[in-house]
Structure 1
Amino acid sequence: MNPAAPSDVRARLEAVVKAYDVRGIVGEGLTEPIVEALAAGFVDEVGAAGGTVVVGHDMRDSSPGFAAAFARGAAARGADVVSIGLCSTDESYFASGSMNAPAAMFTASHNPAAYNGIKFSRAGAQGISLGTGLAAIRDRAADYLEQGIPANPEPGVVTSADVLADYAAHLRSLVDLGAIRPLKIVVDAGNGMGGLTVPAVLGDAAGLPALPLEVVPLYFELDGTFPNHEANPLEPANLVDLQRAVVERGADLGLAFDGDADRCFVVDEQGGAVNPSTVAAIVALREIARVAAAGETDVNVIHNLITSRFVPEAIERAGATPVRTRVGHSLIKDQMKVTGAVFGGEHSAHYYFRDFWGADNGMLAAMHVLAEFGAQQAPLSELAARFTPYSLSGEINSVVDDVPAAYTRIVETFTGRGEFDELDGLTVDGITAESEPFWWFNVRPSNTEPLLRLNVEGADEPTMVAIRDEVLALIRG
């Protein structure tokens, strides 16, 4: 790799190295020389010289080239590289966990086709954030871009491995779907990696026994240009095709995966979106019951502060301890390890499992929903309603010219009306009489854009709407 001019190297790296991963526009922020340098910095940071590093990639056009560049940079610094090729992000976590090796996954998740990125893991699928190694990787990479990557006297070798069948078998060992009632499910892979992993895990493509599932595929063709819709099910517009197909095909439910298939969203038989907090509550109760049956008595379950109030209520009623955290992928992975939590759920449809090295796995969450749903006879809309007693706004983003001023307006307006909590942004918990419906909201500034993110929950729809509209008016001035 030829050294780069030092003028803009550090600025370019600071632009693409985010709080929890690397993300940038291909050919501008992210290039093969930058990837090589990041790989070298990664090997140094995690002490992988003389050991093994796993690299996998999604279906984006630039991903194979970036994965190859990463292998060159890692091998130059003395790491043996195991290339697992096309995979989902949670499949790369499986490889990292089962091989006990650090890993790099090339994906930009739900971002448009022009983007790509890297999700790094330490050995055992442990997360890396800006404060726990990612900044050091960035700074080492800047040095290597300016000065060149010094070759290790004993460079590593690059080999290939296919872990899809082992990944599918591992998930099947964690959730038994063999005895559920027959279900018809529509799955929208969004032309992302779910098109590879769903047939292996929920079907027989990996050589596993067939399950009592009829899977109706939607956009299973791997295509990083996303010709049908963006692979971001968090946006309601990207669920429309799935919702229509579920109703038209008379399916029992629908599943939608994002581009790298680590997040899964659920749609009921009427085409209604099931809130991720509802999924978190369902999975939490199943995991609590499982470990309690095995004799565990001190059970922790993580939820971030944006999930429905029902989630910690359900955890407590089940005899476990809810652990409230800030929002953030690597942060929650760290908390899973520190607390020994059996499960963790986020409002963004990231679900974390102790039995999956504390990492998030959308497929595993979907399997838990299928197991719970398939063990009873009620339609999913009815089952989900039992876990959705309150009214949530969902996350509402507002472009704000003066974020501090908007924040001040909110504080002044709600002083005396609510209790303030600054664990992550500002959470205001309404001070209400016992007979009055509860409400709370959270406002969080974006780290990278002039945005305020609002989430509101109320005991009922009118309460939530009233608070939502009042806070939005304050945010937008």
Structure 2
Amino acid sequence: MAPKFGTSGLRGLVTELTPDLVADYVHAFLTIVDCDTLFVGRDLRPSSPDIAASVTDAALQAGVDVVDCGALGTPALALTSMGAGGAAIMVTGSHIPADRNGLKFYLPGGEVSKTDEAAINAAFATRARRTPPVPGKSGKAPGAEATYVARYVDAFGPGALKGLRLGVYRHSSVARDTMQNIFAALGADTVPLAHSETFIPVDTEAVDPHTRGQLAQWCADHGLDAVASTDGDADRPMLTDANGQVVPGDVLGVLTARLLKARHVVTPVSSNDMVRRLPEFGAVTLTRIGSPFVIAGMQEAGNVDVVGFEANGGFLLGFTAQLTGPLAPLPTRDCMLPILAPLVAAKQAGLTLADLVAGLPPCFTAADRLQEIDRDKAAHFLSGLIDDPDRRAAFFAGFGPIAGTDLTDGLRVDFSTGEVVHLRPSGNAPEFRIYAQAGSAARAQEVMQNARAAVAGVLS
């Protein structure tokens, strides 16, 4: 499959991300950016250094100065580039396997919008080029990680996590050292876990059973209050309670929004419905899945205390929040804020993280994915369910009577039982996502597994 440019940037097989193709997309991006400095970061995939070098070469040829940030989390890169008024490109394939990689693009004001995406695609189609009088110059940004660490130490205060014992599931997260540095600076005792020099594609939205077992065992073996981790490029969080139970990303989002005293929440239609059941949020806007849609919803909310989050936990802050110190806006998916805020909120309340979560409305979600699917077959299958009520009723017959559907993104089906199944193909990977909601965690998992099996029976 040819590399595809979509909501999360460019992604494709490493073998197809040739220097020429990368250069064409870099030039296309730079033709729509009113900026003469590009910050470049990368994750820990084996292919990322070479692709980053291709990005740098193309930008220099376009007359743009390049600041090499090295191996750095995506939100830390965005914080640095936006603070300097520069654009950025992150070399990462996020959570997908190491045989794939990609590019994420950032304007000086933040993530690219769907309009920007269309402009980049149009420029790529014509192989647009800047025509500079002289090549750009290259340099480095050794303080980028320190700036990101200081952001959270200044906001929460040095003793915010004092007394907590936190495991850091390091795997191949590019932010594994950053996480430990932030936790330590906030007073926590940290325990490094499962460091890997081989890239491991951790999907924080669909944690596999083996990893869930490891998390529980680590908590028991080391007496941990929580285990924290991220996906490969650190824009999605993973956090467990002291029993090793993963707290879903959209629940982390709710807890974070509460601590920040947000008044307006923007989140995709796939997120946990509990966000609409909490009275402290004055308004909730549901969007299509993808941070550009969340950002657009935040912008439409106007000048209010607005935040956004996705079901994967990536959190976007749209106003200056007042904690121990001020926390400036960062309108891009971030992993650390939705890890830190729930831990701090629990500590301030004198509760365990599990007890804090238990105090939320009883609405539970589960998610999984089918990988290496035939995307055309998946599209035909889903359109059939959307367009044909009889086919839809037959497919979901085992789940109960259908009470309603939502086509904001894919197909969300609400049943008369109050349970939900949401089906959606990935926009930039050969994957099919399955989401479920129910009144208990066990039932949500059961509904999701039943839906996954039914979809697999069609697509396999």
AA matched with 2:271: T
2:56 to 43, 46, 71: 71
Q: Which residue in the other structure is 1:245 paired with?
A: 218
- 2:157, 2:186 within 8 Å by CA — same for their partners in 1? no
> 1-side partners of 2:339 and 2:17: how far apart?
33
Q: Which residue in the other structure is 1:105 paired with?
A: 90
Deviations 1:438-463 (A, max 9, x none): 23332224446786533222234687
1:152 to 132, 137, 140: 132
The range that moved more, 402-411 or 248-257, is: 402-411
Shift of 1:79: 1.6
For the residue of structure 1 that corresponds to 2:235, the secondary structure is coil
Deviations 1:314-341 (A, max 9, x none): 2xx1142111111112221232233245
> 2-side partners of 1:124 and 1:159: how far apart?
22
- 1:185, 1:215 within 8 Å by CA — same for their partners in 2? yes
- 1:194, 1:220 within 8 Å by CA — same for their partners in 2? no
Q: Which residue in the other structure is 1:359 paired with?
A: 332
1:373 to 346, 350, 363: 346
Structure whose residues are more often strand by fraction: 2
RMSD across aligned positions (CA): 2.9
1:215 to 190, 212, 217: 190
Cα distance 1:406–1:438, how it changes in 2: closer, same or farther (>3 A)? closer
> 1-side partners of 2:250 and 2:106: how far apart?
26
Q: Which residue in the other structure is 1:91 paired with?
A: 76
> 2-side partners of 1:449 and 1:40: how far apart?
23
AA matched with 1:217: P
1:339-354 equivalences in 2 (<5 Å)? 339-340=301-302, 342-354=306-318
1:43-192 equivalences in 2 (<5 Å)? 43-48=30-35, 51-125=36-110, 127-129=111-113, 131-144=114-127, 151-162=131-142, 163-176=144-157, 178-192=159-173
1:199 to 180, 185, 204: 180
> 2-side partners of 1:95 and 1:458: how far apart?
40
Deviations 1:334-386 (A, max 9, x none): 32233245321211121111233311110121111221122233332222222
Q: Does 1:405 align with 2:384?
A: yes
> 2-side partners of 1:180 and 1:462: how far apart?
31
For the residue of structure 2 that corresponds to 1:189, the secondary structure is strand
Q: Which residue in the other structure is 1:302 paired with?
A: 266
Q: Does 1:320 align with 2:282?
A: yes
Deviations 1:68-100 (A, max 9, x none): 221221122222222222211111111122112
Q: Which residue in the other structure is 2:422 paired with?
A: 442
- 1:87, 1:196 within 8 Å by CA — same for their partners in 2? no
For the residue of structure 2 that corresponds to 1:202, the secondary structure is helix
Q: Which residue in the other structure is 1:434 paired with?
A: none
> 2-side partners of 1:251 and 1:388: how far apart?
26
> 2-side partners of 1:164 and 1:274: how far apart?
26
Q: TM-score, normalised by structure 2?
A: 0.84
> 2-side partners of 1:467 and 1:242: how far apart?
23
> 1-side partners of 2:451 and 2:141: how far apart?
52
Cα distance 1:474–1:451, how it changes in 2: closer, same or farther (>3 A)? same
> 2-side partners of 1:474 and 1:230: how far apart?
25
> 2-side partners of 1:66 and 1:218: how far apart?
29
Q: Does 1:19 align with 2:7?
A: yes
